[in-house]
Structure 1
């Protein structure tokens, strides 16, 4: 399908593999995907903050979405990818931040019919909704809540 053939109702999303589900992220906020690198962990960092990454002449926080969401900390070591995202609102100290993926994320062009709410699962504190995407468990992140946690950490860390 050529770009001009896409419906105005299509949504371009990045499916980010986490430990137990996919994170469905609007592709518009994704800046870059890079291989997992060594991170520098700040003193007194919250458990969900895996560390800081030197990226394009700046330093950005890399978080474990599962831990920030109230779940277990998961880190694939060097097997994962780092998904660098642009802050939607006031990102505080950081205009960009990153989420650790447990594998290789992939881009998906979908419509509303491809995403189904999953009322059997309860969203965590940084999720808007639990969903099923092409038969797989997924979650739509609450990026405002993620960025609020980063702002709170950034104001304490100074």
Structure 2
């Protein structure tokens, strides 16, 4: 094994309804309670609403719905995970994902990640890859493409207000 394969990767597993996301730990800005979520019924079903965070209005999405799944039932265990994004499409530089539970920190090595095929239902432009972490299958999302998708879905006024 090379030194690169042994170097630890600090990541977060985020449980969704019927799926799991794997993100680098540095992508996570904060985890907030679902009660902070302000729904906006004018937006597509995959946008759960907005959270006010650090004087910004951050759009929150349900990745599993954006990726072709059904809208999950609300749960008291839900959390809203604020992510740092590139800021190329959203002036705030943040977006959020609604999860089914508190995210789990994991320390991995590249050798521990086993490639897995995309699901037939995956939108290839949103899912960079799938991997097996121990006995759990996880999707590695393309945050840049997700940010672009969110920006396209928001009315111009909402996108300007998020900055």
TM-score (norm 1): 0.85
Aligned to 2:130: 130
Q: Give the 5 Å matches for 1:142-157.
A: 142-154=142-154, 156-157=155-156
| 1:83-133, Cα deviation, whole Å (9 max, x unpaired) | 110112413243111101101111111011221111273472221112211
SS at match of 2:76: helix
Q: CA deviation at 1:157?
A: 4.1
Distance 1:96 1:26, change over 3 A: same
Matched, 1:80 2:78: yes
* Structure 1 unaligned blocks of 5 or more: 1-6
Point out where structure 2 has 5 or more consecutive residues left out of the alignment: 158-163
Would you say 1:14 and 2:15 are equivalent positions?
no
Normalised by the length of structure 2, the TM-score is 0.83
Give the number of aligned pairs.
151
Q: Which residue matches 1:140?
A: 140
The offset of 1:8, in angstroms, is 6.6
Q: Which residue of 2 aligns with 1:3?
A: none
What CA RMSD, in Å, does the superposition of the two structures yield over aligned residues? 2.0
Structure 1 residue 54: deviation in Å?
Answer: 1.5
